[in-house]
Amino acid sequence: MKSRPRVLVIEEIKHIIESFIKASYRAKIAGYDGVELHAAHGYLLNQFISPYTNKRTDQYGGSLENRARIVVEIINGIKSSVGSQFPVIVRMSVKEFVHGGLDIPESTKFARVFQEIGADALHITTGIHETLDKNVDTVWAPEAWRVPLAEKIKEKLNIPTIAVGVIRDPGMAEQILSQKKADFIAVGRNFLSEPTWPRKVMLQMPIRKCVSCGFCSQHLVEHKGLRCAINPELGRKGNEIFVTGLNRNSSIAVVGGGPSGMVAAINFAKNGFQVSLYEQEEHLGGMLDVVASVPGKDKWQWFRNYLLDTVGRLNINVELNHKIDSLAMLKEERVVVATGGLPVIPNIAGIDIDCCADISSFIRQSPQLTHRKIVVYGARGSGLEAALLAASNDNEVVVISRSPKNELGTNLNPLYRASLIKKLEDLEVLFKFKHEVLNVETGEAVLKDHQTNQIIKLQLDYFIYARGFNSNRSLLSSHGKKHFICIGSCYNPGNIADAVQQGYFAIRKLEMASQE
């Protein structure tokens, strides 16, 4: 049951202050080198500091001095209890992005107060609960976007400042430090996607940079444990892919060079297998190039580049422009089929005329289409992203959904979904809910409004359908006596995280299939 917020009484505040001090003492005797006070992101200490949330009229509210008091008393208490040489960092949201909230001028004054009473460093961040996208960076957040804020605070301080926020590339991190825009770089989610990031930087190895997709945050919110869309090992035991029944010197064929196929090929190669990766196109990557073409999702190109670089460094035989028509033609006895999915073609009269295309074909062939009337049929994630791409290029876009408004993009991460819908609204994309497309003709689409049974005609230059994908299992009827498994969208259409997970566990799945 949710409780109703209330004002803390003085005795409770004193107890909270003492609890912070005792926790810091325990941290020191446990061997920690310092502590960081989280006075950011809408949490309790931030609520005291911010004029947006602190409406108290006693010694802990009102003036800047009073609103800073709880943090000041905590720092003083820690230094008295643990020693002046024990570092205390204060993390604070210097810009809250709400009317009446903290901004740089007042945050600079707070920073000076904390410096004067003994804080050893300031960790500069942004946002509160109401502006979550300025706290948990979404795909839209550009690289190092908070650094100018950290730099402004640093100019007024003598103690070190720490910069954070989409600093994924080591070259960029080094540039920030060398230009003295900050004294330290904080790395968060990048350690989820690449736990050995510092070591790989030193050895100049490929880095699996976080793409800000929000998969990890969503899993935590849903109490599913910590997972990463592009690092399948996160939160798992090291022996979960342990191989016992397969000969590690045996040869493996992976058919399909999308994310699932590449992850599978990489994992087989790292475990000593002889791997051949077959791809019918002239390049590897599958749908990753389509995903990375959507405005704001260009970071997915980082993951594609990581996979390509890793495949190139391993002993994997890559066969491009090599279409496999039958598993029987392969020399390998064990096969991983990662042939992806095929777009669902809606049963609509006229769907085969030139102005109609599925979402992936549209993105690949017509990304620069401008000043046209475009109708998108489908309002889940892919449909909304197609609409965003089209609208961002100055097209007039209408999205048709058979479902009600509350089901718009429900397969997306909630934070990304909210920001995506807001961008579509800002671009004046028109939505028609509970409508069905009856037929498409050159120049128009005929719709039925299921609420009124009215027939509507829409003018169009282009019709994009985003009705999902079906598994491409055309090879499975000709497997002969080979041991094979399906992974990725070939097994069950899903997202990139699903593809990566299945690619990672392909070893275990093939082992089980070989024992049957």
Q: b/e map of 169-178 (b: 16 or more CB within 10 Å)?
A: bbeebeebee
Which residue bears the tokens 């004054």? 109
Nearest residue to 482 via CA among 271, 250, 286, 318: 250
Q: Two tokens at 509?
A: 């799945």
Which burial class, exposed, middle or buried, applies to 18 when counting CB atoms under 10 A from its CB (0-12, 13-18, 19+)?
A: middle
Of 32, 43, 278, 491, the catalytic one is 43
The contacts of residue 197 (CB under 8 Å, 6+ apart) are 187, 190, 191, 207
Rounded CA-CA distance 160/145 in Å is 19
* Nearest-angstrom CA–CA distance, 67 and 107: 12
Q: ∠ CA 388-389-393 to the nearest 5 degrees?
A: 110
CA–CA separation, 375 and 459 (whole Å):
9
Token pair of 26, please? 């325990």
Q: Say whether 306 is catalytic.
A: no
Contacts of 460 (CB under 8 A, 6+ apart): 355, 373, 374, 375, 440, 443, 444, 445
Round to whole Å and give the CA distance between 197 and 205: 9
Rounded Cα distance, 372 and 388, in Å: 14
SS (H, E, C) 87-139: CEEEEEEEECCCCCCCCHHHHHHHHHHHHHCCCCEEEEEECCHHHHHHCCCCC
Rg (C-alpha) for the chain, rounded Å, is 27
What does the alpha-carbon distance between residue 74 and residue 49 come to, in Å, rounded to a whole number? 13
The answer to whether the beta carbons of residues 386 and 473 sit under 8 Å apart is: no
Structure tokens at 199: 């070591």
What strand order describes the sheet that includes 35-39? 35-39, 88-95, 121-126, 161-163, 184-185
Residues acting as catalytic residues: 43
